[in-house]
Structure 1
Amino acid sequence: MATREHDAAHAETVPDKLLGLLNLLVIDDDPTQRMLIAGAAEKAGYSVTQAASCAEGIALVREQSFDCITLDLMLDDGDGADVMRAMADARYSGPMIVISGMNSERRRASRALARSLGMDLLQSFPKPIDLAALRISLANLRSNVAGLPIVHSWGEVCGPRFDDR
């Protein structure tokens, strides 16, 4: 019996070791938005760091490594474009998701800027954010990194590491 319990416990930890948590940086000056985005990301298997300003986001990008970054384009102390340029200077090569209340034209311009800086703008969402769509986008990214299939069902994410949530 002890062997079965050990095997079951070991089987549950194997996906965690294979996948691990991906690191996400959320840059948004609105505390409610940061909380909502962080909650969706955690459900999709991410460890989340939050930044409330351009300056804080830029400092974190320079100091730490992130697997993905969500970015608001209009922050109290600057523009998301400033953060994108700092990300490029720090040689950030992971994907980015823009979540902004700006119109679709400005979000398209951010995609062009990201492309010109050699960065991958994975998705652009308007505010208020569709949390199910964000969670699915993050889960897809995570499955691509891990090379494993993920199943989506009504905005929920299933698969290794998601079944326990």
Structure 2
Amino acid sequence: MLERIDDQAPRATADPGPAAGAPAPTLLVIDDDTVHRMIIGRVAARAGYTATEAASYEEAVALLRGNAYTLITLDLTLGQHGGAEVLHVIAAMDLKTPIVIVSSSNETIRRETAAMANLLSLNVCRALAKPVDLGELRRILLDVRQRSAIGLMPAGWSA
């Protein structure tokens, strides 16, 4: 977004955060890689989110059981457990939270996992490759934030 002040050159401005008094949207980052969690968390913070990190399947399940999130990012490899197992837990909890798969798995696996999740009535918005395109991730975060603010949740975006 550009802002012009009098006759000065345009300058970049930060994205507006949530409306005054409104709680920030929340993101659960599920990834066993510390660096990826940190990067996604920083991009989310710049997009106006409060990010919570889960480094394992067990931590993710505990957080999902105790909290509600505006959006979830999910790596498909989580040590001994896979992201598909997390998707089954989310389905069993009947959560409709939008999910963005962020994984180094090949494109076929990402697409098939997203299709399986959608068959479980989950809301997988995108399936992104690692290393993640930070601009694309930011656009997704902003879009979900805007839709959430007006009560529209993204449904079944293409992978």
Q: What's the TM-score, normalizing by structure 1?
A: 0.78
Q: 1: CA distance between counterparts of 2:133 and 2:17?
A: 31
2:65 maps to 1:62: yes
Q: 1: CA distance between counterparts of 2:18 and 2:130?
A: 37
Q: Which has the higher contact order (CA 8 A, sep 6+)?
A: 1
**Paired residues of 1:84 and 1:114 also in contact (CA < 8 A):** yes
**Paired residues of 1:55 and 1:77 also in contact (CA < 8 A):** no
Give the C-alpha shift of residue 16 in structure 1.
2.5
3-state DSSP class of the match of 2:21?
helix
Give the C-alpha shift of residue 13 in structure 1.
9.8
Map Cα deviations across residues 24-55 of structure 1 (whole Å, 9 max, x no partner): 10000000000000000111111111000111
**Paired residues of 1:61 and 1:92 also in contact (CA < 8 A):** no
Counterpart in 1 of 2:20? 16
Q: 2: CA distance between counterparts of 1:59 and 1:124?
A: 24
Counterpart in 2 of 1:46? 49
Give the C-alpha shift of residue 94 in structure 1.
1.1
Q: What's the TM-score, normalizing by structure 2?
A: 0.80
**Which segments of 5 or more consecutive residues in structure 1 lack a partner in the other structure?**
1-11, 149-165
Counterpart in 2 of 1:126? 129
Count of paired positions? 136
**Aligned partner (choices 28, 34, 53) of residue 25 of structure 1:** 28
3-state DSSP class of the match of 2:19?
helix
Q: 2: CA distance between counterparts of 1:139 and 1:123?
A: 14
Shift of the 14–98 alpha-carbon distance from structure 1 to 2, 3 Å rule, reads closer
Counterpart in 1 of 2:115? 112
Give the C-alpha shift of residue 67 in structure 1.
1.1
Counterpart in 2 of 1:86? 89
**Aligned partner (choices 146, 149, 165) of residue 149 of structure 2:** 146
Q: 2: CA distance between counterparts of 1:13 and 1:71?
A: 24
Give the C-alpha shift of residue 145 in structure 1.
1.3
Counterpart in 2 of 1:4? none
Map Cα deviations across residues 84-122 of structure 1 (whole Å, 9 max, x no partner): 000111221110000000000000111111111101101
**Which segments of 5 or more consecutive residues in structure 2 lack a partner in the other structure?**
1-15, 152-159
3-state DSSP class of the match of 1:16?
coil
**Paired residues of 2:99 and 2:125 also in contact (CA < 8 A):** yes
Kindly indicate which of the two structures has a greater share of residues assigned to helix: 1
3-state DSSP class of the match of 2:132?
coil
**Paired residues of 2:17 and 2:48 also in contact (CA < 8 A):** no
